[in-house]
Amino acid sequence: MTSTITKTKTGKQIACKVHMLDDQDLPFHIDPKATGQDLLNSVCNYIDLLEKDYFGLEYLDSHRNVCWLESDKPILKQVTETKFSFCVKFYTPDPGQLEEEFTRYLFALQIKRDLAVGALLCSDNTASLLASYIVQAEIGDYLETYNNNPSYFNSHKYFPHQSVEHEIRIMNFHKNHLGQSPADADLNLLDIARKVELFGIKMHLAKDHEQVNLNLSVAHMGILVFQNITKINTFSWAKIRKLSFKRKKFLIKLQPEGYGYYKDTVEFYFDTRDECKNFWKKCIEYHAFFRCVTIQRSQRSKNKLLAGGSSFRYHGRTQKEIIEYARENYVKNRSFTRSYSNTRTVAPVINRAHRSPGSTIRTSDTIESVRHHKNQTGVIGDTTNVYQQVYYDDSSTHGSRTLDSKFSRDKYDLSDEQNTDEDEDEHIQKPINGLSSSSPTHICRSSEPVHIDDNHSPLIQHPIDQVDKGKFVET
């Protein structure tokens, strides 16, 4: 679907369609100048979602790659087709911190989808246990009239290559969930899922400096390195001094720890510049969301003369801010409708659909169910295929963020000062092998600041020294 401009009483509008986690399509009409955040706010207002910063909007670019809709850019400058998917963007490691039942329900729907398409990689036994909680939430208690026959749910495929043996296992697990409400089942589902090593992990294909094939991922604790689906290294946020990219090269500069003679920079290589930049952007967002207490919001710089690098920033609330906001604005027993309520013996009452007064987004009454993006596939079992999610963007070819101790951990600096890494190669020591998970690292300390020459070309002379692990700034 290409973007279609229509005239309404309020002026020109763009028709959009947002695919929700319950497989409904919600049509919206937006202003041609609306940003990604405008559309996300309208979707969250319509479904009355309080803890909205855990979620985002995905779209397929012209190459059929999955991308996040950037919040501060106009939508029409990012997409040609105005069809989006509403989904979980930040997978919290502790579902108990989700204040509202409705938020936990949406997370449960995301886990159900991840499990179904093979994005949540786990053993067959764990997959069956997860599926049993989905059955409990959607169907209710196991009844004796089922006569030990899984036919009461086997029309649903909860994970790839689901077999009769798996269905019997699901049924046996389901018998143990007697009396659990849908909310209880959701919470138990989240509790099991969060313990899966690859929970919320989206693999990005890359290579180390020796051209060994790897998978990179970013999570709440830092950047993870996998060989196939086996984790071989973790770079925690506390150990990272600076993240940067130069064309296809992604660089991790580590904190000085003085362990030995190993160098301080790890390099990885992506197939394209877009893949490299988008993984870097994802790391910036994850660090800001999970690591920072708050961030300083600022507008993008309009001075293109000095805009030598990426101006990308995270613009939402941090997890700490969401938790505090949700606790302050929590409404007890707020009601909503579960999409599968008609399959249970006793359906929940309620209708949560709501639009705030003054909303400029219009929705139609006809909602059509569709499947999720067709390129999300995988296998559940002892041997699995990794799920790859690639982000594409057409802006700058290089950028960086540094962890700087000049600022306190309770702020997120979004200074307009930018850099390119065009001259950075001469300052980077030979990298460590990305596979070295147990080797100590030695870090060369330096403290010279960034300089900009008379032609306004930012030159990286050295990374900033004595940095604070709670903050990224551009250098």
- Look at residue 187 and tell me if it is in a domain: yes
pLDDT score recorded for residue 347: 34
pLDDT score recorded for residue 465: 33
Tell me, yes or no, whether 77 and 151 share the same domain: no
- Look at residue 376 and tell me if it is in a domain: no
Instruction: In whole angstroms, give the CA distance from residue 93 to residue 115.
Output: 17
Where does the pLDDT of residue 66 fall: very low under 50, low under 70, confident under 90, or very high at 90 and above? Answer: confident
Rg (CA), the chain: 23
| Burial of 85: CB neighbours in 10 Å, binned 0-12, 13-18, 19+ | buried
Tell me, yes or no, whether 328 and 442 share the same domain: no
Whether the pLDDT of residue 207 is over 70: the answer is yes
Residues 458-472: pLDDT tens digits?
A: 322 223 233 343 344
**More confident of the two residues 472 and 38:** 38
Whether the pLDDT of residue 114 is over 90: the answer is yes
Tell me, yes or no, whether 308 and 213 share the same domain: yes
- Partners of residue 230 on adjacent β-strands: 227
- Of the ranges 64-73, 107-116, 203-212, which one carries the lowest mean pLDDT score? 64-73
Tell me, yes or no, whether 180 and 323 share the same domain: no
**More confident of the two residues 346 and 267:** 267
- Look at residue 18 and tell me if it is in a domain: yes
Instruction: In whole angstroms, give the CA distance from residue 392 to residue 61.
Output: 7
Instruction: In whole angstroms, give the CA distance from residue 465 to residue 406.
Output: 10
Where does the pLDDT of residue 4 fall: very low under 50, low under 70, confident under 90, or very high at 90 and above? Answer: low
- Look at residue 362 and tell me if it is in a domain: no
Q: For the whole prediction, is pTM greater than 0.85?
A: no
Tell me, yes or no, whether 294 and 429 share the same domain: yes
The percent of residues in the chain predicted with pLDDT above 70, rounded, is 65
CATH classification at residue 105: 1.20.80.10
Residues 344-371: pLDDT tens digits?
A: 544 334 444 444 333 333 333 332 333 3
- Look at residue 429 and tell me if it is in a domain: yes
Q: How far is CA 100 from CA 2, 109, 315, 331, in A?
A: 36, 15, 23, 8
Tell me, yes or no, whether 334 and 458 share the same domain: no
User: How many structural domains comprise the chain?
Assistant: 3
Asked whether 154 and 167 are in contact (CB, 8 A), the reply is yes
Query: How many Cα atoms within 13 Å fall on the side-chain side of residue 12?
Result: 6
Tell me, yes or no, whether 295 and 222 share the same domain: yes
Tell me, yes or no, whether 292 and 335 share the same domain: no
- Of the ranges 41-50, 83-92, 275-284, 405-414, which one carries the lowest mean pLDDT score? 405-414
- Nearest one of 198, 174, 234, 113 to 381, comparing CA atoms: 198
Q: How far is CA 320 from CA 252, 288, 350, 415, 466, in A?
A: 25, 11, 30, 22, 25
Q: What are phi and psi of 13, to 5 degrees?
A: -135, 150
Q: What 3-state class would DSSP assign to 110?
A: helix
- Partners of residue 205 on adjacent β-strands: 215
Q: What is the DSSP string of 399-460?
A: EEEEE-TTS-TT-----S-----TT-GGGPPPPBPTT-SS---------PPPEE-TT--EE-
CATH classification at residue 273: 2.30.29.30
pLDDT score recorded for residue 369: 31
Tell me, yes or no, whether 305 and 210 share the same domain: yes
**More confident of the two residues 296 and 155:** 155
| Burial of 143: CB neighbours in 10 Å, binned 0-12, 13-18, 19+ | exposed
- Look at residue 450 and tell me if it is in a domain: yes
Written as six digits, the tokens of 403 are 């962890």
Where does the pLDDT of residue 263 fall: very low under 50, low under 70, confident under 90, or very high at 90 and above? Answer: confident
Which structural domain range is residue 169 located in?
Answer: 95-194
pLDDT score recorded for residue 3: 56
Instruction: In whole angstroms, give the CA distance from residue 169 to residue 277.
Output: 43
Q: Is the dihedral of CA 117, 120, 124, 130 positive or negative?
A: negative
Written as six digits, the tokens of 31 are 């202003």
Whether the pLDDT of residue 269 is over 70: the answer is yes
Longest dimension (CA), the chain: 82
Tell me, yes or no, whether 163 and 214 share the same domain: no
Whether the pLDDT of residue 175 is over 70: the answer is yes
- Look at residue 81 and tell me if it is in a domain: yes
- Look at residue 3 and tell me if it is in a domain: no
CATH classification at residue 13: 3.10.20.90
pLDDT score recorded for residue 9: 56
- In this prediction, residues 391-414 reach a mean pLDDT of 39
Question: Of 138, 173, 194, which one is at a domain's C-terminal end?
Answer: 194
Tell me, yes or no, whether 100 and 167 share the same domain: yes
Instruction: In whole angstroms, give the CA distance from residue 103 to residue 47.
Output: 11
Instruction: In whole angstroms, give the CA distance from residue 7 to residue 362.
Output: 13
Instruction: In whole angstroms, give the CA distance from residue 97 to residue 82.
Output: 33
C-beta neighbour count of 93 within 10 angstroms: 14
Tell me, yes or no, whether 304 and 404 share the same domain: yes
